[in-house]
Amino acid sequence: MATDITKLGVKATWKDLTEGMIIAGAGTSKDFNTGEWSTEKPEFIEEKCKQCLLCVPVCPDSCIPVKDMKRGAFDYGHCKGCGICVKACPFGAITMEGVK
Amino acid sequence: MAKRDRLSGNEAVAIALRQINPDVFPAFPITPSTEIPQYFASFVANGQVDTEFIPVESEHSSMSAAIGASAAGARSLTATSSCGLAYMWEELYIAASNRLPLALALVNRALSGPININCDHSDSMGARDAGWIQIYAENNQEAYDNMVQAYRISEHKDVRLPIMICQDGFITSHAVENIELLDDEEVKNFVGEYNPENYLLNPECPMAVGPYSITDYYMEAKRNQAEGMSNVSRVVLDVAKEFEGISGRKYGLFEEYCMEDAERAVVMIGSAAGTTKDAIDRLRAQGEKVGLIKIRLFRPFPAEEIAEALKNVKAVAIMDRAESYTNHGGPLGADVMAAMFRARSQALAVNYVYGLGGRDVRVEDMESVFEDLKKIVKDNDAGETYRYLGIRE
């Protein structure tokens, strides 16, 4: 049975899908590139960012990595472009097409 | 050593299940399939099997529990008829699309209404597009033999699809016939152990079953599912060959009776094929070149093989024990005619709806069908292709 979840994506052929769409293995969601579902992505403007980290907990897909109390670049492999982070940012450090 | 016995179709299937000794059997009673879980429950009570027998509150639940058990890694099944199958509708598709190899002992009965408990194929014919393998029996022996072969087909690594083992309500399910049973040990060895590659109760590898598929994947998922179905015919024939080795009984995708030089043929499913064989014997004694194709495997449909078997006939009557309300005939008629069309058949074909709600089909009825075909050949005109047999006009 094919179980390589990293092959899953909008370009995957029917032969690459797992039998019955079964996923065998644990913690596999990080291997699954769901980021390609979205059409728009947020842009991070680092020079405007005060590192308040208000954007981090509101992200439904945990796409804003934090290291040493500082946020890094978006994980576009999982960001679905909901735009919530744009709304949460008090400093205009996140922009996205269609979100004010 | 094979053992001869006198058994009803339900009893024969229940004995096959005792010999298979499946892991989980959830069931809810409905006529005429009730006896299968009833006999089986006595095997459980007597300690003859170590199956987990689950009396549930509905067919929706019996199929759901069978699916859950199968996903968990168990060999499971249930039994039902008619409205019970209708109540499993959603689950039938779940079982097939999740590629869960489980069995359903189906005893064919008319769907309401008018409410009726007798045989026709409207229940399983309605489920023909659910992605299940469907195998039909003419008599009790075939019902038993098909059940013994079921898991070998369903669980095959190239297939992994649920399987419906169908027999005619009351006509085979309750009628007692002489049949030959295999030894318990022979069946056990033939069926073997079920060792799925992935299963929910495997602590080494957690598994997700039935995840959501957005538009980007759904169509590929269905195509992937169809691939399993495309391997079924080969596996059915392989399993049948091996089964012949232990039983001496030969099975194919369908049975051809007197087809070698037949000019007129009937294509049908189920117990009425026995009646048709009697009609053929009578007509053959009078020198008439008539024959029968009795479908065993209906899903997937062996279209090319059937068209090949019909290539020399001048006229064919396809018999449907179910209405399809297309104004053109029933589901078997549609499949056979499509197969003949693709094979560029020049034969004249008509489709009869017969035997609904347990209406008797007599040898004389089938003789009248061959007589109709004779006229069709003579006139070189099929006339009305959508007909009813044995109806009071």
Q: What is the CATH number of the domain that holds A92?
A: 3.30.70.20
Inter-chain CB proximity A25 and B205 less than 8 Å: yes
Number of domains within chain B: 2
Is the omega angle on the peptide bond into residue B302 within 30 degrees of 0, that is, cis? no
Distance CA B343, CA B313 (A): 13
Number of domains within chain A: 2
Is B163 among the domain residues?
yes
Q: Do A26 and A39 have their domain in common? A: no
Q: Do A58 and A74 have their domain in common? A: yes
Q: Do B108 and B157 have their domain in common? A: yes
Is A65 in contact with A21 (CB distance < 8 Å)?
no
Q: Do A25 and A39 have their domain in common? A: no
Q: Do A26 and A72 have their domain in common? A: no
pLDDT class for B62, splitting at 50, 70, 90? Answer: very high
Q: Do B163 and B44 have their domain in common? A: yes
Contacts of A25 in chain B (CB under 8 A): 205-207
pTM exceeding 0.90 = yes
Question: For residue range B42-53, what is the model confidence (pLDDT) as tens digits?
Answer: 999 999 999 999
Mean pLDDT value across chain B: 97
Q: Do B291 and B184 have their domain in common? A: no
Residue of chain B whose Cα is closest to the Cα of A17: B221
Q: Do A19 and A4 have their domain in common? A: yes
Q: What is the mean pLDDT of residues B141-169?
A: 98
Q: Do B178 and B113 have their domain in common? A: yes
Q: Do A55 and A76 have their domain in common? A: yes
Q: Do A21 and A46 have their domain in common? A: no
**Residue with structure tokens 């308040």?**
A52
Q: Do B201 and B77 have their domain in common? A: yes
Count the neighbouring beta carbons within 10 Å of the beta carbon of residue B168.
31
Question: Whole domain around residue B371: which residue ranges?
Answer: 254-388
Q: Do A28 and A38 have their domain in common? A: no
Q: Do B118 and B243 have their domain in common? A: yes
pLDDT class for A1, splitting at 50, 70, 90? Answer: very low
Q: Pick from B197, B223, B227: which is nearest to A1 by CB?
A: B197
Q: Do A25 and A60 have their domain in common? A: no
Is the per-residue pLDDT at A50 higher than 90? yes
Is B201 near chain A, with CB under 8 Å?
A: no
- Helix then strand then coil, % of chain A, to nearest 5: 30, 10, 60
Helix (H) or strand (E) holding B308: helix B303-309
- Determine the pLDDT at residue B186: 97
Q: Do B21 and B39 have their domain in common? A: yes
pLDDT class for A3, splitting at 50, 70, 90? Answer: low
Identify the domain boundary among B206, B221, B247: B247
Question: Whole domain around residue A82: which residue ranges?
Answer: 34-100
